[in-house]
Structure 1
Amino acid sequence: MSQQDSIPMDVADASGPIATAPAAGRARRLALVAALYSTQNLSLGFFTYAFLTIAQARGVALASIGAAAGIAMILTLKFLWAPLVDRFGSRRFGHYRGWLIATQSLLGIGIGSLALFDPADDFGVVLAVFAVLFLLAGTQDIAADAAATRLLRPEERGLGNGFQSAGSSVAQVVGGGLVLVVYGVAGWQAAAIMLAVFSLLPLPLILAWREDSTSFAQPTPHITLRSALAFFARPAVRLWCFVLLPMYTIGFTISYNMIRPILVAGGWDETRIGLVVVIGGSVVGVLAGIAAGAVVTGIGRKHALVWLGLVQVIAAFGVLPIAAGVLDDWLVLLVVALGNAAFAAAFAIVYTISMDLTRPESAGTDFTFFTTVTAILMVIAAGVGLVAADAFGIFAVVIVAGVLAAVGLVVTVLRIDRVLHAVDAAPPEGPSH
């Protein structure tokens, strides 16, 4: 792709009058967004929940498994090449549509190629394939987020980001849970081929999408170093990204990440954890993400932030009974379901506000930065929580995490108006259809 080739046809100049273009129906727009987000993290779910588990069961050393897990960090580095996705694109296929056609197709082929190798005997080769898959998945992620930002009207972003939040749970159910079931019944090759087919499901919707009709009045995708730095000159961006996002998410993240260590210490085996935590919890996450998107649409950003934040606080403190040693199946399932619901619901509103702050001409870079910061915060919070639990005990850490979640919610609610007012004051964007 060349930079010259990146200028879409029939795109109005950013400084000119807003033009009106034919628009895809609301259902078609949301269906495309849902399909993209449902396959966005399949390779990560496959790697984390299935491949590493299968390799360990097949005799690969635990030290090798631990070292290999670091390859997934490639996905957190996608902000490094996000500007390339904004800057370069195809005039013939559509700027972000071209990226999506290429990456979605290559992901399907790449995942399918894993059927050619043995997860234990060819461990190093499979790791190399996953490294390439993560590069492709990160690029698809950037293009999908940018496309969704430009495709969805502001009033549709709540539901759209509900699909994004639910999509993470779909990836766990399919890439982690269903793959293991297929592997147990039919073997590694069948599992890889099944996942490859699933990863190609959005392709017909991408091919049917006419990007120029939905981006007719949007500024041409473009970014420079100067414009990238200018993004952080906005006080609302700095407040949201570096203050409110951490305050809103860290407490719950610490508490929720205590669940697995509690269950392992309580004698739960991998199969039991997989069924209850990965599959059972993820199914709840799918439903909660979509429901939260509807809530955002129905009651607005600020009220959704408050109510969904309260769900996070309740879920953070909800870990206390199992931290105290009560590990009855029904209680663990209830806590896991509440935690997954809180995660999916809260991130529906987090992603919606983040999308509101992105600029349409550099949507991939801007939104990717928000999601990267969120991912890094979650990794750090989870790690710090585990270290603190080892020093002070899990029960004490869960109490502190719940307090942090409550304080973070209060601070966020008190300061969020500055962010939302900045969004309201921004120039109108997108097609007026």
Structure 2
Amino acid sequence: MPIFNYIQPYLSRRVYPLLLLGVASGLPLALTGGTLQAWATVENVSLKEIGFLTLVGAAYTFKFLWAPFIDRFVPPFMGRRRGWMAIAQIALGIAIGCMSLFSPSENLFVLALLATAVAFLSATQDIAFDAYSAEVLQPEERAAGAAIRTLGYRIGMIVSGGLALVIASVWLGWANMYLLMGLLMFGFAVLTWLAPEPDSARIQPPRNIYDAFTVPFREFFSRPEAWSILALIVFYKLGDAFAGALSTTFLIRGAGFPPEVVGSVNKILAVIATIAGALVGGSIMGKLGLYRSLMFFGIMQAVSNLAYWVVAITPQSIPVMALAVGLENLCGGLGTAAFVALLMALCHQQFTATQFALLSALSSVGRVFLAGPLTPPLVESFGWPGFFVFTVFIALPGLLLLWYRRKELSRLDQPQT
């Protein structure tokens, strides 16, 4: 049956475990971010001190600095990838549980230190999980694997974000909610033990720390296409990043929608559309291959930005706004599925942790250093309608780089030798 052909990639024993492992990867993020800020707010911590709490998440930005250690050292159990995942998950269970012992109003500094430890351990889990995902999947499974782990990560964020707030305020209280989340991490360590071992387990790790830090760079930059591939990673989702940088501000201030309506659409429809896009993208990509999927989804990403242009030039309409948000996030999800599969395919299996951490960090350069600072002056120059048209042109360099390296990208669908 045709529909079964689209579901089948997700039924592989190497693919479906990534759903729950993705939940484990996404769960700690909000516990050191929005949820912790909400707890501090409820306990009347000053705004200045709450602002200080945003620094605890810096580990996610700099995780590439210790990724080589994850490549170099092999735990004495469960292999190089699952072993590090399990160690991080058990340590996360302890650290998150310890957070339940302190109150933001009385022990904010201690709580901030524990949150920093949670962020570090969570980033370590992400390093190992990214490497595991890239190594356990066959080339034809990368699209489905990228989609299902994205779905799991989003679920983890919802559990420790919105659901955690409900649990804390209605049922268990803040301390017991954190204790519950810590217990969940111990459960994920069991799931990691049950997950299949990658075929790459036979590959020898780098011989020493020096090699772990230097050889991944030498290997990648020895490739003739290295610099253009790095540029592609920066530019592929740049148009999407510009369109989304101030999308909430546009809908509230530019289009005049009430904040509660925008919040409902963004938090519900946008998440659903992104997940649907990733899952559909994972299924389609198995048929199209990596290069054609990146090109097709990249074009859809760019064109979907015009949905916000439609909102900007038409009379205020909630259905039109909801359709635009849904379409833009659906196409963004399609592009994300293909992009994560690209990062997986680019990594050499001997040092997947280091290369994936570096490439994923590089992929955020455009969003952080270009889209964020440059969007406001562009909006002031072009106005909202002109700005969203311009974002389509911002996406063109990434598509041109994609076409330029089409032969190399087509070869990435083949197994590494």
- Fold shared per TM-score above 0.5: yes
Match of residue 351 from structure 2: 362
Shift of 1:83: 0.3
Distance 1:329 1:39, change over 3 A: farther
Match of residue 131 from structure 1: 116
Partners of 2:96 and 2:318 lie apart in 1 by: 35
Partners of 1:58 and 1:390 lie apart in 2 by: 38
Match of 1:335 among 295, 315, 324: 324
Match of residue 140 from structure 2: 155
Shift of 1:274: 4.4
1:55-98 per-residue CA deviation (whole Å, 9 max, x = no partner) reads 34543343433343233222010000000000011243312221
Partners of 2:30 and 2:304 lie apart in 1 by: 23
Match of residue 203 from structure 2: 219
Amino acid at match of 1:178: L
Match of residue 188 from structure 2: 202
Q: Residues 278-289 of structure 1: matches in 2 within 5 Å?
A: 278-289=267-278
Partners of 2:323 and 2:37 lie apart in 1 by: 27
Match of 2:86 among 101, 112, 119: 101
Q: 8 Å contact 1:103–1:136 — kept in the other structure?
A: yes
Q: 8 Å contact 1:49–1:177 — kept in the other structure?
A: no
Comparing 103-112 and 352-361, the one that deviates more: 103-112
Give unpaired runs (5+ residues) of structure 2: 1-9
Q: Residues 66-145 of structure 1: matches in 2 within 5 Å?
A: 66-145=51-130
Q: TM-score, normalised by structure 1?
A: 0.82
Match of residue 248 from structure 1: 236
Partners of 2:89 and 2:267 lie apart in 1 by: 25
Q: 8 Å contact 2:32–2:116 — kept in the other structure?
A: no
Distance 1:165 1:293, change over 3 A: same
Partners of 2:157 and 2:374 lie apart in 1 by: 23
The structure where helix makes up a greater share of residues is: 2
Match of residue 378 from structure 1: 367
**Is residue 316 of structure 1 aligned with residue 305 of structure 2?**
yes
1:139-158 per-residue CA deviation (whole Å, 9 max, x = no partner) reads 11111111122211111111
**Is residue 397 of structure 1 aligned with residue 387 of structure 2?**
yes
Amino acid at match of 1:402: V
Q: 8 Å contact 1:33–1:160 — kept in the other structure?
A: yes
Distance 1:260 1:365, change over 3 A: same
What SS is found at the alignment partner of 1:29? Answer: coil
Partners of 2:57 and 2:384 lie apart in 1 by: 27
Match of residue 9 from structure 1: none
Shift of 1:45: 2.9
Q: 8 Å contact 1:170–1:282 — kept in the other structure?
A: no
1:163-187 per-residue CA deviation (whole Å, 9 max, x = no partner) reads 2333342233222222223233233
Distance 1:352 1:427, change over 3 A: closer
Partners of 1:110 and 1:146 lie apart in 2 by: 23
Amino acid at match of 2:203: P
Partners of 1:123 and 1:328 lie apart in 2 by: 44
What SS is found at the alignment partner of 1:93? Answer: coil
Partners of 1:138 and 1:106 lie apart in 2 by: 12
What SS is found at the alignment partner of 2:75? Answer: coil
Q: Identity percentage over the alignment?
A: 24
**Is residue 234 of structure 1 aligned with residue 223 of structure 2?**
yes
Partners of 1:189 and 1:322 lie apart in 2 by: 43
Distance 1:386 1:46, change over 3 A: farther
Distance 1:122 1:262, change over 3 A: farther
Partners of 1:60 and 1:327 lie apart in 2 by: 39
Q: 8 Å contact 2:28–2:160 — kept in the other structure?
A: yes
* Alignment RMSD (CA, Å): 2.8
Amino acid at match of 2:152: G
Give unpaired runs (5+ residues) of structure 1: 1-24
Q: Provide the aligned length of Structure 1 versus Structure 2.
A: 399
Amino acid at match of 1:252: D
